[in-house]
Amino acid sequence: MITECKVAAEELLKDVQGNKSTKVFPEMDLLICITFDDQQIVNQGGAIHPVTDAAREYSGVTHKLLHGNHEVQVICLKTIIDTLEANGVI
């Protein structure tokens, strides 16, 4: 499993599209990020969607990031914290 960590999910698309590294998006399985900007992801030709409990491939996954013909599972820490706060856990 190939995992990438970024502050914002859209940074991964910027890296891949800008050829700033040897990262190959179709080889990635999981992205751990703090947050994301839906509009910036769309502007870069991607999409991000929430994932239901039944559709999770990995524990803790909150979203899926789509770009081209590939999907990367996303653990967004802000979403997890917001959910815990909304449920009175923290």
pLDDT band at 19 (very low <50, low <70, confident <90, very high): confident
pLDDT at residue 24 in the model: 84
* Number of domains present in the structure of the chain: 1
Instruction: Show Cβ contacts of residue 80 under 8 Å, excluding neighbours closer than 6 positions.
Output: 60, 62
Q: What is the pLDDT of residues 29-82, one digit of tens each?
A: 999 999 999 999 999 999 999 998 888 889 999 999 999 899 999 999 999 999
Q: Domain range spanning residue 69?
A: 3-86
**H or E element that contains 44:** none
pLDDT band at 20 (very low <50, low <70, confident <90, very high): low
What token pair was written down for 29? 């399985």
- Residue 32's Cβ-count burial label (10 Å; 0-12, 13-18, 19+) is middle
pLDDT at residue 16 in the model: 85
